[in-house]
Structure 1
Amino acid sequence: MFLEVIAKNLEDVIEINKSNASRIELCDKLEFGGYTPDYNLIKEACELSKIPVNVIVRHSHIDFYSSEEEKLEILKDIEFIKTTKANGIVVGVLNKDNTIDLEFLKKVIAMKGDLKITFHKAFDFVNDFEKEYEKLANLKIDNVLTSGGENISKGFEILKVLTSKNLYTKVLIGGGVTLDNIDIVKSISDQVHIGTAARIDNTFETAIDLEKIEKIFRG
């Protein structure tokens, strides 16, 4: 099983490194779905962690249709992240018709260097999951983070379809993963992402709970 766990600060990074987690997703402002963290935090977290760290690159909580200004901020962030020990970036931008903004994504790919790339949960808002997933695979995007729509309990069938295609882009199931549904999730994909499920009281206001991460592993 490959397990990615969200961290919001250095304390989280330290705790997650004590677990069986495979990778960390580093985020700020999780109440808005995750923003690019402070540059100092990115640098320190990536130096400290023995587990690979992927950094979210995002600035707008309104929607996933980024302005030209935000796109420039995203590219600036990527240039900085390339100077750190980060493993990868987590990014996702849509067009107004809920298709993936391929033009901008290609700019990101051209700039990212050796960084791995995950297309984040903007994917949950596309109109045609199969078609957009194939676009990501054709661009050799490493992962797509998705719950098969805005509600994971309604997304399992979509997730089954996507994983059955066995394309280049790995389906990383995340967003609503809990101890109650982990067995179903793991029956679809061994690539799993958790956020609040790794916390003491299932909110981002509390600390990492190593026992819960272990339970996710055991199912």
Structure 2
Amino acid sequence: MNFEVIATSVYDAQVAAENGANRIELVKDIDEGGLTPCYALIKEVVQAVNIPVNVMIRPHSYTFCYSERDLLIMTDNIRIVRELGATGIVLGTLNHNHTIDETALQNLLAAAGKLDVTFHRAFDEVIDQEAALTTLFEFPQVNRVLTSGGKKSVIQATNQIKKLRRLTDNNPCNIIAGSGLSIDNVKEFIEETGIKEIHFGSGVRIGGNALKPIDPEKVRAIVKVIEALET
């Protein structure tokens, strides 16, 4: 089981790593769904933790349909992320008809090289998730797809998550479930869906507030749930 936590600071990243998270998703502006953090923060977080750090590549929160200039900025950010030693990137590209923008994705992946790649929750805006996932299977660099099953909370989409997870059974691309998971519901959710990767943001923060720091006790509590399920 991979347990990923959103970090917006060096403190967040250290707390997540020290208390059992397996991977960091590093962002700024978490309340806007996460944007690309500054280079100094990327550098400091990479040096501060010994678990993988995947960096959000998202220049703005207006749309997931990107202009040529947007894509140039994203490509440059990917290059810098590589130079700073991060493990991976988190991105997503859509057409105006809510399908995967394959051309934009291919161009960004060309810049990514051997970086670990997550296709983020832009996936929750596609018209047909099964078809979109099949499209993403054509891009071997995409290691996982972050999704809430098209719902505000993944807890409302357990059947859809099961469908998507089954589609990945014979494919190296994984489904990582996020949005709405908490200490109280994660055990039942994992048991019901068979999911192997989970993603936490506000669910491990003080008071469940996305703008508050990570609560180490909540991170440890999630780890205990995972360990109990794996024994």
Instruction: Note the C-alpha offset of 1:130.
Output: 0.7
Question: 1 CA distance for matches of 2:69 and 2:208?
Answer: 34
Q: Find the residue that maps to 2:24 and give its secondary structure.
A: strand
The match for 2:122 is 122
- Given that 1:129 and 1:158 are in contact with CA atoms closer than 8 Å, whether structure 2 keeps it comes out as no
2:144 matches 1:143 = yes
Matched ranges for 1:132-211 at <5 A: 132-140=132-140, 141-151=142-152, 152-165=154-167, 166=169, 167-187=171-191, 188=193, 189-211=195-217
TM-score (norm 1): 0.96
Unaligned runs of 5+ in 1: none
Unaligned runs of 5+ in 2: 226-231
Q: Which has more helix, going by share of residues?
A: 2
Runs of at least 4 residues of structure 1 off by over 4 A?
none
Instruction: Note the C-alpha offset of 1:61.
Output: 1.1
Task: State the Cα RMSD in Å.
Answer: 1.2
Matched ranges for 1:65-104 at <5 A: 65-104=65-104
Instruction: Note the C-alpha offset of 1:75.
Output: 0.6
Question: 2 CA distance for matches of 1:28 and 1:207?
Answer: 13
Instruction: Note the C-alpha offset of 1:208.
Output: 1.1
- Given that 2:71 and 2:108 are in contact with CA atoms closer than 8 Å, whether structure 1 keeps it comes out as no
Question: 2 CA distance for matches of 1:19 and 1:98?
Answer: 38
The match for 1:43 is 43
Q: Find the residue that maps to 1:72 and give its secondary structure.
A: helix
- Given that 1:172 and 1:192 are in contact with CA atoms closer than 8 Å, whether structure 2 keeps it comes out as yes
Q: Find the residue that maps to 2:95 and give its secondary structure.
A: coil
Instruction: Note the C-alpha offset of 1:150.
Output: 2.9
Amino acid at match of 1:198: V
How many residues in Structure 1 have an aligned counterpart in Structure 2? 219
2:134 matches 1:131 = no
